[in-house]
Amino acid sequence: MSSATPDFGTPWGEGFQQSLAKSWGQAMQHFQTIDLGGLKSGTAPTGAPLQFSQEKLNTLQGQYFKDASELWNQGLQSSVQVKDRRFSGEAWAANPMAAFNAATYLLNARTLMGLADAVESDEKTRTRIRFAIEQWVAASAPSNFLAFNAEAQKKAIETKGESIAKGIQNLMHDMQQGHVSMTDESLFEVGKNVATTEGAVVFENEFFQLIEYKPLTAKVYEKPFLLVPPCINKFYILDLQPENSLIRYAVSQGHRTFVVSWRNPDESMAQKSWDDYIEHAAIEAIHTVQAITGAPKINALGFCVGGTILSTALAVLAARGEKPVASATFLTTLIDFTDTGILDVFIDENFVKFREQQMGQGGLLKGQDLASTFSFLRPNDLVWNYVVGNYLKGETPPPFDLLYWNSDSTNLPGPFYAWYLRHTYLENNLVKPAKVKVCGESIDLSKVDMPVYIYGSREDHIVPIGGAYASTQVLPGKKRFVMGASGHIAGVINPPAAKKRSHWLSEGSKFPADVNSWIASAKEVPGSWWTDWSDWLKTHAGKPIAAPKTYGKAAKYKVIEAAPGRYVKVKA
């Protein structure tokens, strides 16, 4: 090996050194020949040997030998300390061999990730390699295998094999339902203990049902409020339980509230396009709320992909000379797709062309495929954690409304999905004036001139904080940007009564191009951002008027059924 190889200075040093050299050589050989399944791009075609920075390689090699030597000495003294929650149980600490095995795994995992960082290539290729190695490393953890998991073995002995039998039952159950259980799904039912805010469906077409909620105040603001959730999930993430429901909170603040409940597409919708969703869903919902309430202008909110849909609909309406929305709220929304975070590893011309050929002219993207993709963005937390608990330890995961919602997947029409991939993630066309037509209109977001409230979550792995912030550089109206703590969902669903987390505000109207410059000027405010948003929305909601006594309006918008309606109950 190189001159970075240390002299261990022990009677067993030569043999140990040779063993380490062999391990290092095997790691290098494996890394050089690894097939990343089409994730390589640019100058490194699939199957070609990777080139490394020699300086980084020498540093990494030296650190590997140093750490391995220290680990071996700890192992001889039975004093191996493992700082990783996967191996934090007492059973790991009480079993020196298991602790040593876990520490060795962590050392090798760090080294492999270091090798990924040492690859000489463009940044996207390095990111793709890191992602592929991360998946392999997460899957190969000793905690994932009964033969190496000290905790699972201890539990099997204590329960006289009952935990193993229960684990097999859990495995068979999950195989039948088609996904790994993240919670005890038998304890939840939509309309019974999630999505329970009182209301009624007052309109429906083949794309969505429009739900109107019963007022909780004697007076409501004259401008009604419409929520457009993501169509890649079900709307009740905004209405999980009464105490953490953003929908119920809006109603309690005096807003006459409506929400779009998307239909879960089946084969009858396999030809539906992005244009269809804009024209016959988002725009139709805006016009229907106007018709029901008689209000010339409404306020609207878009969450995640719902925000992208809402902004596109507003651009189409602006091109037609219509401005029916007085203010818009965008929660963890990408409009400018320059910074898409880890999802960028999947996107290139070949991948998009494949999807276009596969389903661009018709077909369905199955909900479980999409759900699995998002889960593997955080493999240890959202995949292997449940594999270990459910199958190796025979545990039933605790009830958790958010994870029940997360498992309630939705399909997407193929043409809709293919258009979305190309024109947003790949080509970022929405922010290029007149670059793309939607519903026959040239899109120009500079014409979407209205007050906007933009929220981003600091640790969001789906819509990075920089991606959410980028909307401040695109939308021309008066803006307020707020950053919340936590991730894509937990950051948004943060009711004031919980007194959890913080949010950050920077008073003033300046929005520098770099989100980090904005963050440097922002001040931390303890607690939920909901109260700040509510105070902002009230300034755009008009005067208070008497709350309606009935749902809908006259003969055209009669009550169809009670909320949450039947669309949201359809399984993918």
Cα Rg of the chain, angstroms? 27
Does pLDDT of 449 surpass 50? Answer: yes
Counting DSSP H helices and E strands in the chain, the numbers are: 20, 17
Dump pLDDT digits (tens) for 189-240.
999 999 999 999 999 999 999 999 999 999 999 999 999 999 999 999 999 9
**Burial track 135-155 (b if 16+ CB lie within 10 A, e otherwise):** bebbeebbbbeeebbbbbbbb
Would you state the structure tokens that stand for residue 203, as one six-digit string?
């309109």
Q: How far is 98 from 104, CA to CA, in rounded Å? A: 10
Whether omega before 564 lies within 30 degrees of 0, making that bond cis, reads: yes
Dump pLDDT digits (tens) for 508-555.
778 999 999 999 999 999 999 999 999 999 999 999 999 999 999 988
Q: Which of 129, 304, 352, 454 is catalytic?
A: 304
Q: What percent of the chain has pLDDT over 90?
A: 76
Q: What is the mean pLDDT of the chain?
A: 91
pLDDT at 71: 86
Amino acid at 172: M
Secondary structure (3-state) at 44: coil
Q: Which helix (H) or strand (E) covers residue 27, if one does?
A: helix 13-33
Q: What percent of the chain has pLDDT over 70?
A: 91
Q: How far is 519 from 523, CA to CA, in rounded Å? A: 8
Q: Which helix (H) or strand (E) covers residue 9, if one does?
A: none
The model carries a pTM of 0.90
Q: Which helix (H) or strand (E) covers residue 391, if one does?
A: none
Dump pLDDT digits (tens) for 137-149.
999 999 999 999 9
Alpha helices in 298-444 (DSSP H): 305-319, 349-359, 367-375, 379, 385-387, 401-407, 414-420
Dump pLDDT digits (tens) for 115-139.
889 988 888 888 888 999 999 999 9
Q: How far is 522 from 76, CA to CA, in rounded Å? A: 51
Secondary structure (3-state) at 318: helix
Would you state the structure tokens that stand for residue 264, as one six-digit string?
């879960």
Kindly give the pairing relationship between strand 412-413 and strand 437-438: unpaired
**Structural domains of the chain sorted by starting position, each given as residue range(s) with its CATH number in brackets:** 13-158 (no CATH), 199-356+411-569 (3.40.50.1820)
Dump pLDDT digits (tens) for 236-277.
999 999 999 999 999 999 999 999 999 999 999 999 999 999
At residue 429, what are phi and psi to the nearest 5 degrees? -80, -20
Whether omega before 495 lies within 30 degrees of 0, making that bond cis, reads: no
Q: How far is 203 from 558, CA to CA, in rounded Å? A: 8
pLDDT bin (cut points 50, 70, 90) of residue 448 is: very high
At residue 494, what are phi and psi to the nearest 5 degrees? -140, 75
Virtual CA dihedral for 508, 298, 543, 546, nearest 10 degrees? Answer: -150
**Burial track 463-477 (b if 16+ CB lie within 10 A, e otherwise):** bbbbbbbbbbeebee
**Cα angle value 38/44/45 (rounded, 5°):** 45
pLDDT bin (cut points 50, 70, 90) of residue 337 is: very high
Q: How far is 93 from 106, CA to CA, in rounded Å? A: 15
Would you state the structure tokens that stand for residue 372, as one six-digit string?
């699995």
Q: Is 304 a catalytic residue?
A: yes
Q: Are 194 and 236 in contact (CB under 8 A)?
A: yes
pLDDT at 39: 44
Q: Are 92 and 102 in contact (CB under 8 A)?
A: yes
Q: How far is 399 from 412, CA to CA, in rounded Å? A: 28
Dump pLDDT digits (tens) for 1-54.
333 333 333 333 445 556 656 666 666 665 655 544 444 333 334 455 678 888
Alpha helices in 253-384 (DSSP H): 274-277, 284-293, 305-319, 349-359, 367-375, 379
pLDDT bin (cut points 50, 70, 90) of residue 564 is: very high
Least confident of 90-99, 330-339, 465-474, 477-486: 90-99
Q: How far is 224 from 286, CA to CA, in rounded Å? A: 10
Residue 20's nearest CA partner among 51, 57, 66, 52 is 66
pLDDT bin (cut points 50, 70, 90) of residue 507 is: confident
Q: Are 281 and 208 in contact (CB under 8 A)?
A: yes
pLDDT at 9: 34
pLDDT at 27: 61
Would you state the structure tokens that stand for residue 154, as one six-digit string?
């201890």
Contacts of 431 (CB under 8 A, 6+ apart): 335, 336, 337, 445, 474
